[in-house]
A and B are shown apart, each in its own frame.
Chain A
Amino acid sequence: MVDRGAKQFVLCDPKDNVVTALSPMKMGSVIDLSNGKKVEVKEEIPFAHKIALRRIPKGGGVVKYGERIGRATRVIQPGELVHIHNVTGERGKGRKK
């Protein structure tokens, strides 16, 4: 854990483009990173869910723990919830119709 702003969120690794909310976060609250960067939260974030720090293009990698955990299935804007509605994993995906 490299950054845990007032216990509101945690940034696991400097390479990450998401943080995890350590308590539910309201729309309009601000993620205040120790490097001076600020990101406004765009929607309600449930406990332990992820928030984008940067714009992630469709197909772009979602990075947590410094590792790629999946790819964006649509453009994700900074401050948006990052979860199964806009991210898919890339492993163990058989493709039978």
Chain B
Amino acid sequence: MKFNGYRRPDGRIGIRNHVIILPSVACSVEVGNAIAQKVKGVIAISHPHGCAELPFDAEQTLRTLAGVGKNPNVAAVLVVGLGCEVVDAPLVASKISESGKPVKSLVIQDVGGSPKTVREGVKIIKEMLAYASRLKKERVGLDSLILGVECGGSDACSGLSANPALGVTSDLFIEEGGTIILSETTESIGAEHILARRAVNKEVREKILEIVRRTEMRALNLGLDIGKANPAPGNYEGGITTLEEKSLGCVMKGGGGKVMEVLEYAEAPTKKGLVLMDTPGHDAESVTGLIAGGTQIIAFTTGRGNPMGSAVAPVIKIATNSFMYSRMKDNMDIDAGEIITGKRSIEEMGERIFKEVLKVANGKLTKNEILGHREFAINRLGPSF
């Protein structure tokens, strides 16, 4: 099975052709926004991180920003920094340049203030947009695609309709040579034995159990109940009773394949097939980790109705029940509630989602792309100092 994508200098395939402005630190976000207001068609990313972070957080922020810049949906990148921050803008840019794509950095303190940096930035972005517009798509196989599978605002239908259907999609996708990333470690607690049983080897099996144990221990060491944060109030209202129940529904999204590899947050896979990434259940943080790992497209199931998109990847929204689908049609791409009402089987819905993934890979815009949803959130491990 083939689709049309943009081949980047590093050989990876983009399904979108974005030019982005990436702030290395919270202090340079507004300069990025000001540049984006003066040029049409550029995405300015916003985040509150990049400074006063301890080394483990600084490293994760750097890895995430560099990974998003390297994402093959991105044609060119302008990194904007302040100059005195922990996460250095020229360093972010040099990591991104490993991919061979055009990347530049501007440091506000070196350029001489924000108005001058905006003027410089507009010049650079104009050139980058012209460059991106000249790129052509080529016909490529599904083995060049990474599909991230995500759920957010789950209800008790998630594990009965949309998640098992997306699991069918994942299996079909892997059969075609593609890669699936299943994330949200918190939502594997209570279902980790199912994933561990399917590990390709002992090392992967132990890593699966390790990331789940480490997530659970974070709450236990604080003496706190994860259940106060996850499941969320809407999950309980939607009929989910415990974290274990939520997790058992959550892991279905990855299908039934062997787990080939376990990635740290924002790390790029080195294997094809089903891969896990250690991310929190927080949707925006999880999806940001996925795109930093090179995921070009996200399939996202939701029961309560989550309109979230992503900075550089299309997000296909799959409703778990038809009540919410008809209420929030403007945000939903697919109604998997048809499984609950008996209109379609899980297998039929899995094929329907698979076809939608192909269409979106070929350029069809998702609802959240049309609405301009560009959520972005980097996972933090510790406090700011």
Contact = CB atoms under 8 A, between A and B. Distances in A.
Interface string B176-209: 0000000000100111001000000000000000
Contact of A89 (B155, B242, B249): B242
A73 B303 CA distance: 27
A96 B223 contact: yes
B156 A48 contact: yes
21 contacts: A1-B346, A4-B342, A48-B238, A50-B241, A65-B248, A67-B190, A67-B244, A68-B244, A69-B190, A83-B236, A83-B241, A89-B243, A89-B245, A90-B244, A91-B216, A92-B225, A92-B226, A93-B226, A93-B227, A94-B222, A94-B224
A69 B244 contact: yes
A89 B157 contact: no
Contact of B340 (A22, A49, A50, A68): A22
Interface string B217-253: 0011111111100000000101101111100110000
Interface in B28-83: none
Contacts of B239: 20, 46-50, 83
Interface of B: 155-157, 159-160, 186, 189-191, 194, 216, 219-227, 236, 238-239, 241-245, 248-249, 303, 321, 323, 340-342, 346
Interface of A: 1, 4, 7, 10, 12, 20, 22, 46-50, 62, 64-65, 67-70, 82-84, 87-96
Nearest to B155: A48
B238 A70 contact: no
B271 to A, nearest CB: 27
Nearest to A69: B245
Given A50-B239, A69-B190, A84-B236, A92 B216 contact: yes
B160 A49 contact: no
Contacts of B303: 48
A91 B156 contact: no
Given A47-B323, A70-B241, A94 B223 contact: yes
Contacts of B219: 92-94
Contacts of B191: 67
Contacts, number: 106
Given A65-B249, A89-B241, A94-B219, 15 more contacts: A7-B341, A20-B160, A48-B157, A48-B239, A67-B190, A69-B241, A69-B245, A70-B241, A83-B241, A84-B236, A84-B241, A88-B242, A92-B227, A94-B220, A94-B225
Nearest to A97: B223
Given A65-B159, A69-B248, A92-B189, A87 B241 contact: yes
Contacts of B160: 1, 10, 12, 20, 48
A84 to B, nearest CB: 6
A88 B346 CA distance: 30
Contact of B248 (A22, A50, A67): A67
B156 to A, nearest CB: 4
A7 B249 CA distance: 20
Contacts of A83: 236, 239, 241
Contacts of A47: 239, 321, 323
Contacts of B321: 47-48
